[in-house]
């Protein structure tokens, strides 16, 4: 299937000289949830800004469902809904009038039934006649999502959708994003919460210092880049590692009480039985052991460190 | 053409005026009434006629213009500056709407408000002074053109301004002096040289002169020149806006 968004050689340097993006190539597939993950200032918002029309690129091109975002900006933008990071809303408008405004702005004729559906889905129907300034932060966030959805976009950008949002609302929002995806909307979200990407995304792109470091299906990324750790608590402290072990994969804690063995999840022979055999040969007794899988967070930290 | 976008912006801007009815309609009518009381009734009674027109009647076109210019500029500049300030401009910039549609929405609404206000001030003036309108069609044409031109100028100021002070500085430091020196309260023929000649570089002179001609058939400068200058000024504003949107100046980084 043709990708819904194709980005090629996208480069952006701001007037201040700050290079925000360099040679980004990326394809977003129809109907997926794509998470763009990266530390603050990595270029996530700039990338979204270019696709949506807030920022102009220096080089490269973006097409949305075959429409170039500059030459055919109407067709491209009509397909996109953007939920910005900041809670930027008109203060003295009512919820309903701001939604009608958004729908009209994107060239759609009024449709009260559709607006009602969006409001009900986001639990905003009771607040439809409330002035936006009177709403809580979480409610304002929902209003922004409703604004982005009320012109029936096929692509939804969520820029840091759960920044500063309480746990309950975050769960609700994830639920809503899944429902949207099930209805056929392609979703691109940026986040620096790895938990969020791990929970939601089909594919993950990691961006750092304006470069796309890796793009991979979430499960594959966790498999290929993930590792497990086996922690052994020793009965008697060791003063140093026995010479027979590889120092790379085995580490001794400072107090000599724990040994940590790191191994890849993909390896056929992970070396655990060999390790245990050697330990018993050396008469090193084990009091306790447990193993843990690395999270996306560890993968992310490693990647960003490596490529920095 | 994205007509729904123009309509959405227009309705948004008009409803903003409705919410701030006191500020946007009542206040200008009150301040113009004060001008009539002070200049028309109190001082005007001691002034001679100008070109055969009583002073109270003479200043009506100028006073309408005075309000029209300031309200057009402030309305249009605030209309586009505030979304920039609050961040809601993101929606305008990501919408499938071209510069023309955005300008039609914002400037159309600002100019509509100004024309309504101008007509209300004219009605109010009737309470204080008797006047007649010799060329009503031209009067409306000048009213409309001026409202559009200065709303365009306000739109430019709103796009350019980076803070509230910049938003205020041009109306206060440039437009108000130009209006007061533009012949609202006097005929520029009453000025000594070189001020008469210098006045001819003030675009407001042409607006007020042409507008006054449509009332009383008298003017400081030829009405054709007045009309031509007004059109020229409007086209200049359009050219600047076109450049702003094409280059993304202060809109897109």
B contact residues 13-52, partner A, Cβ 8 Å cutoff: 15-16, 19
How far is it, in rounded angstroms, from Cα A46 to Cα A54? 9
* pLDDT for residue A222: 75
* Any B CB within 8 A of A56 CB: yes
Do the Cβ atoms of A169 and A141 come closer than 8 Å? yes
Complex prediction ipTM? 0.88
* Any A CB within 8 A of B87 CB: yes
Using DSSP, state whether A290 is helix, strand or coil.
strand
Residues in chain B with pLDDT values less than 70: none
Q: Which of A116, A52, A117, A47 is nearest to A78 (CA)?
A: A52
* pLDDT for residue A122: 87
Residue of B9, B19, B248 with shortest CB distance to A56: B248
DSSP-derived secondary structure letter, B69: H
Q: What is the pLDDT of residues B22-47, one digit of tens each?
A: 777 888 888 888 888 888 777 877 87
Of the two residues A64 and A229, the one the predictor is more confident about is A64
DSSP-derived secondary structure letter, B49: P
| Residue in A closest to B98 by C-alpha | A74
Q: What is the pLDDT of residues B54-83, one digit of tens each?
A: 888 888 898 899 889 999 999 999 999 999
Beta bridge partners of A236: none
Give the percent of chain A with pLDDT over 90. 49
Query: Contact A107/B96, CB-based, under 8 Å?
Result: yes
* pLDDT for residue A247: 64
Domain boundary assignment for chain A: 1-79+154-225, 90-150, 228-294
CATH number of A228-294: 3.30.70
pLDDT at A143 over 90: yes
Query: What is the SS3 string spanning B110-169?
Result: HHHHHHHHHHHHHHHHHHHCCCCCCCHHHHHHHHHHHHHHHHHHHHHHHHHCCCHHHHHH
- At residue A23 the predicted structure's pLDDT band, cuts being 50, 70 and 90, is very high
For domain A1-79+154-225, the CATH superfamily is P-loop containing nucleotide triphosphate hydrolases (3.40.50.300)
* pLDDT for residue B192: 87
Q: Which residue has the tokens 């009771």?
A: A126
Q: What is the dihedral of CA B175, B13, A48, A183, to 10 degrees?
A: -170
> Taking CB atoms and an 8 Å cutoff, what residues of chain A touch B7?
104
Do the Cβ atoms of A51 and A7 come closer than 8 Å? yes
* pLDDT for residue A79: 96
Residue of B4, B12, B97 with shortest CB distance to A108: B4
> Taking CB atoms and an 8 Å cutoff, what residues of chain A touch B94?
52-54, 77, 80, 82
Do the Cβ atoms of A50 and A5 come closer than 8 Å? no
* pLDDT for residue A194: 76
Query: Contact B91/A102, CB-based, under 8 Å?
Result: yes
* Any B CB within 8 A of A103 CB: yes
- Could you tell me whether strands A5-13 and A59-64 are parallel, antiparallel, or unpaired per DSSP bridges? antiparallel
- At residue A307 the predicted structure's pLDDT band, cuts being 50, 70 and 90, is low
Residue A144 distance to chain B (closest CA, Å)? 10
* Any A CB within 8 A of B117 CB: no
| Residue in A closest to B86 by C-alpha | A88
């Amino acid at each position: 299937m043709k990708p819904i968004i194709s980005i090629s050689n996208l480069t952006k340097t701001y007037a201040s000289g700050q290079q925000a993006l360099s040679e980004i190539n990326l394809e977003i597939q129809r109907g997926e949830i794509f998470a763009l993950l990266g530390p603050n200032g990595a270029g996530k918002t700039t990338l979204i800004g270019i696709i949506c029309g807030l920022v102009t690129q220096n080089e490269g091109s973006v097409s949305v469902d075959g429409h170039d975002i500059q030459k055919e900006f109407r067709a491209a933008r009509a397909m996109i809904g953007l939920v910005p990071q900041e809670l930027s809303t008109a203060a003295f408008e009512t919820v309903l009038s701001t939604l009608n405004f958004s729908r009209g702005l994107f060239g759609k004729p009024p449709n009260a039934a559709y607006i009602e559906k969006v409001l009900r889905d986001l639990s905003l129907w009771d607040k439809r006649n409330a002035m936006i300034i009177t709403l809580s932060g979480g409610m304002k966030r929902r209003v922004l999502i409703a604004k982005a959805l009320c012109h029936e976009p096929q692509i939804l950008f969520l820029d840091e959708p759960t920044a500063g949002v309480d746990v309950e609302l975050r769960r609700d929002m994830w639920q809503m994003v899944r429902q949207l995806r099930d209805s056929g909307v392609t979703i691109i979200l940026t986040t620096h919460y790895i938990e969020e990407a791990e929970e939601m995304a089909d594919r993950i792109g990691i961006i750092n210092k304006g470069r796309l470091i890796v793009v991979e299906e979430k499960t594959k990324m966790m498999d290929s880049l993930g590792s497990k750790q086996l922690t052994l608590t020793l009965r008697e402290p060791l003063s140093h590692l026995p010479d027979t072990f590889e120092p790379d994969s085995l580490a001794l804690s400072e107090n000599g009480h724990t040994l940590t063995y790191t191994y890849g999840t993909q390896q056929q022979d992970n070396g655990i039985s060999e390790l245990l055999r050697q330990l018993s040969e050396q008469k090193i007794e084990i009091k306790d052991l447990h193993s843990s899988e690395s999270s996306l967070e560890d993968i992310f930290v490693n990647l960003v460190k490596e490529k920095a | 053409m994205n007509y729904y976008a123009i309509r959405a912006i227009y309705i948004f801007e008009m409803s903003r005026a409705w919410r701030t009815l006191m500020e946007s309609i009542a206040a200008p009518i009150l301040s113009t009434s004060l001008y009539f009381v002070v200049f028309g009734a109190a001082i005007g009674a001691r002034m001679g006629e100008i070109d055969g027109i009583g002073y109270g009647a003479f200043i009506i076109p100028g006073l309408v213009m005075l309000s029209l210019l300031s309200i057009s500029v402030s309305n249009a500049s605030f209309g586009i500056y505030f979304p920039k300030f609050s961040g809601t401009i993101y929606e305008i910039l990501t919408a499938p709407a071209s510069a023309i549609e955005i300008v039609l929405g914002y400037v159309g609404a600002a100019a509509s408000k100004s024309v309504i206000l101008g007509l209300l001030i004219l009605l109010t003036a009737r309470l204080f002074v008797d006047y007649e309108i010799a060329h009503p069609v031209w009067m409306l044409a000048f009213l409309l053109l001026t409202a559009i031109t200065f709303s365009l100028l306000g739109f430019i100021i709103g796009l350019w301004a980076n803070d509230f002070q910049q938003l205020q500085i041009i109306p206060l430091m440039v437009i108000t002096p130009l209006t007061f020196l533009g012949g609202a309260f006097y005929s520029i023929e009453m000025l000594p040289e070189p001020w008469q000649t210098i006045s001819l570089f003030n675009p407001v002179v042409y607006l007020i002169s042409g507008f006054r001609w449509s009332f009383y058939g008298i003017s400081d400068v030829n009405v054709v020149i007045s009309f031509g200058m007004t059109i020229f000024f409007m086209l200049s504003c359009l050219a600047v806006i076109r450049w702003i949107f094409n280059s993304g100046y202060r809109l897109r980084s």
